[in-house]
Amino acid sequence: MDSQVELLLRAGPFHDTLRAAIRSRGLTLDRVRSRLADRGWPVGLSTLSGWQHGHTRPASTGPVHALEEVLDLPRGALVDLIPRSDLDERSGALGELLDDIPGARDRSVDLLCQHDKVSVDASRRSSRIWSRIVLRARRDGVDRYVMRFFADPGADPLANPADQVEFEAGENCRLGEVRRHSRAPVIVAEFLFGQRLRAGESWVFERRIHNPCGPPSIVHACAVRHRVEQYLLQVRFDPSVRPVDCHAFSQADLYEPPRRIGALPLSTHHSVHLIGTPLITGVHGIAWRWPS
């Protein structure tokens, strides 16, 4: 594989990678268009030109997977680089926090697996969240993971729920800088590995979140910015509080209404779970109601 293409596949952007891959294969846009049509994906020349110059972006992954075949790229290599404006992090409270952390928006790792375990206490609060994350460095020198966290909105408009949340480093990391938004329940936290990874090297670490004073919880979700090979979410309820109507849901972006996927019966161990393999982008989680 061309060295420039190989480098761009690690971090993008999508349009530069596509243009370099087409050039590396020695294909004209018309030839690319013809081969896409042979695979059942009729895409116009103007559309392809817009994609490779960053003027427009693909609306679905089907033709992009076909492009990966045409350009002899690994499956998912281009799809993973498609810009996700729906999960844009350059505006709002989260954008303000990330602006203060150099490189926080860089796609420096691939998430191979994330396992979240949520404990809902007798006060109906998600008071403890444990996570194990397995990632792989996309470049040399990666030494941290920047976490985004949205606290449950509280009932008191004068209080910021983010002030009550505490973070704790588990195995193979230590807690770095933690930034809390002054007006919104949004937090950004660094988890430092203590060493620099080489490109392609994997890392496993654990983290814990404590929120003993938050409001009653009715949902836990994960916003996926880039492909995650496997996501597992478990929610365990205190035996003294039994929710009703537990169900899995997904959202195409942060702002669309959630789409109910299916009911999740409470097990004899007072827990429910969902698993996604893989997840491309969007919001995925579990929601529940409390009896009146």
pTM of the full predicted structure?
0.71
CB 7 within 8 A of CB 29: no
pLDDT of residue 79: 83
Encode pLDDT of 147-176 as tens digits.
999 887 765 555 677 888 999 999 999 999
What letter represents residue 64's amino acid? V
Question: Reading across the β-sheet that carries 271-276, which strands appear in turn?
Answer: 166-169, 202-210, 126-137, 109-120, 228-237, 271-276
pLDDT for 86: 47
Measuring CA to CA, which residue among 242, 282, 243 is closest to residue 259?
282
b/e code 17-43 from CB counts within 10 Å (16+ = b): bbbbbbebeebebeebbebbeeeebeb
Say if strands 202-210 and 166-169 run parallel, antiparallel, or are unpaired: antiparallel
Domains of the chain, first to last: 3-83 (1.10.260.40), 87-289 (2.60.40)
pLDDT tier at 189, thresholds 50, 70, 90: very high
Mean pLDDT of 25-40: 94
**Residue 240 and residue 122 in contact, taking contact as beta carbons nearer than 8 Å:** yes
Does 73 have pLDDT greater than 50? yes
What is the pLDDT, as a whole number, of residue 56?
78
Q: Which residues contact 58 (CB under 8 A, 6 or more apart)?
A: 51, 64, 82
**Which of 125, 129, 130 lies closest to 161, judged by CA?**
125
Within 8 A by CB and 6+ apart from 41, the residues are 62, 63, 66
Q: Is 103 left (phi over 0), alpha (psi -120 to 50) or beta?
A: left
Residue 108 and residue 196 in contact, taking contact as beta carbons nearer than 8 Å? no
